[in-house]
Amino acid sequence: MDRAQKEELVTSLSGVFKSTSVVVVAHYSGLTVAQMSKLRRQMKASGASVKVAKNRLAKIALEGSDVAHVGNLLKGPTIIAYSSDPVAAPKVAVDFAKAHDKFVILGGAFGSTALNVDGVKALATMPSLDELRAKLVGLIQAPATKIAQLSTAPAAKLARVFAAYAKENEAA
């Protein structure tokens, strides 16, 4: 890697660290290429990204960002997962770590808050932004359907009463 490529990598990483809401750092030593590809596909499908960068360059990119405290986790072969959705990257990382023993989560950051392994796992258990939106829409729609049911119920009751009187009059 020449100097220009390193500068470009540092610039892109610093942009990532300043714009994302969550960063997860993990060791990936011992994973096969197929497993790494699977991790990248899963991250991309959930709206997150994965980056393998030299630790020294990543530490330079971390300077001046809210997640600068993640720098002390960058030792050995590390991978950086990030997303703008606060739950996407931790959820995929934790699920992947359960299936692959060689993928070890070291910690991360949520905004300016440092996360240990348990913090990343706790963040992974939360519902995603899309799930929360779906629940909110469901809550908003529920009263509307109940109002519609209540407004049609009296008319249905009246129709049954009229039908009963009609049958009574026919019988008499």
DSSP states of 29-97 as a string? TT--HHHHHHHHHHHHHTTEEEE---HHHHHHHHTTSTTGGGGGG--SSEEEEEESSTTHHHHHHHHHH
Residue type, 146: K
- What is the per-residue pLDDT for 94? 92
- Contact (Cβ atoms closer than 8 angstroms) between residue 92 and residue 41: no
Neighbours of 31 (CB within 10 A): 19
Pick the CATH number of 3-126 from 3.30.70.1730, 1.10.10.350, 2.40.40.20, 3.40.640.10: 3.30.70.1730
The answer, as to whether pTM is greater than 0.95, is no
| pLDDT tens, position by position, 38-53 | 999 999 998 898 988 8
> pLDDT tier at 93 (50, 70, 90 boundaries)?
very high
Is residue 148 over pLDDT 70? no
* DSSP codes, 90-146: HHHHHHHHHH-TT-EEEEEEETTEEE-HHHHHHHHHSPPHHHHHHHHHHHHHHHHHH
Residue 58 confidence class, pLDDT cut points 50, 70, 90:
confident
Contact (CB, 8 A) for 96 and 27: no
Which pairing describes strands 113-115 and 104-110: parallel, antiparallel, or unpaired?
Answer: antiparallel
- Could you tell me the residue ranges of all domains in the chain? 3-126, 127-171
* CA–CA gap between residue 78 and residue 70 (Å, rounded): 12
pLDDT above 80: residue 22: yes
Q: If DSSP codes are grouped into helix, strand and coil, which group holds residue 25? A: strand
Residue (of 95, 83, 91) closest to 21 by Cα position: 83
Running DSSP on this structure, what letter comes out for residue 172? -
